[in-house]
Amino acid sequence: MLEVLRVTFPFFALVLCGYLAARKGLLPLEAIPGLNGFVLFFALPCMLFRFGAGTPIAQLLNAGVFFTYLFCALVMVAFSIAISLNARIRWSDASLGALVAAFPNTGFMGVPLLVALLGSAAAGPAIVTIVVDMVITTSLCVALSRMDAAGEHGAAVAARKALAGVVRNPMPWAISLGAAFSYWNLELIGPVAKTVGLLGDAASPVALFTIGAVLARSRMLAHERPHGPLRLGDYLPVAVIKLLVHPVLVLLVTAVAVQWGAKIDRFTWMVMVLVAALPSASNVSLLAERLGADNGRIARIILVTTAVAFLTFSGAVALLKP
The pLDDT mean for the chain works out to 89
119 φ, ψ (degrees, to nearest 5): 100, 170
The whole-angstrom separation of Cα 180 and Cα 12 is 33
Q: What percent of the chain has pLDDT over 70?
A: 91
pLDDT at 308 over 80: yes
Mean pLDDT computed over 267-275: 97
Tens digit of pLDDT for each residue in 146-169?
776 655 455 566 666 666 766 778
H-state helical runs in the chain: 2-23, 32-38, 44-53, 57-60, 63-84, 91-102, 111-118, 123-131, 138-144, 155-168, 170-184, 190-220, 232-240, 246-259, 266-276, 283-291, 295-320
What is the structure's pLDDT at 65?
97
Mean pLDDT computed over 297-307: 92
Mean pLDDT computed over 247-271: 96
The residue segments making up the domain with residue 39 are 2-222+230-320
Total domain count, the chain:
1
Tens digit of pLDDT for each residue in 226-254?
555 677 888 899 999 999 999 999 999 99
What is the structure's pLDDT at 172?
87
Alpha-carbon distance values, 252 to 45, 68, 258, 305 (Å): 32, 10, 10, 22
Q: Are 97 and 301 in contact, with CB atoms under 8 Å apart?
A: yes
Tens digit of pLDDT for each residue in 13-37?
999 999 999 999 999 989 988 998 9
What is the structure's pLDDT at 1?
73
202: number of Cβ within 10 Å: 17
Q: What is the CATH number of the domain that holds 103?
A: 1.20.1530.20
Tens digit of pLDDT for each residue in 73-132?
999 999 999 999 887 888 889 999 999 999 999 999 999 999 999 999 999 999 999 999
The secondary structure of residue 280, as a DSSP letter, is B
Q: Are 245 and 273 in contact, with CB atoms under 8 Å apart?
A: no
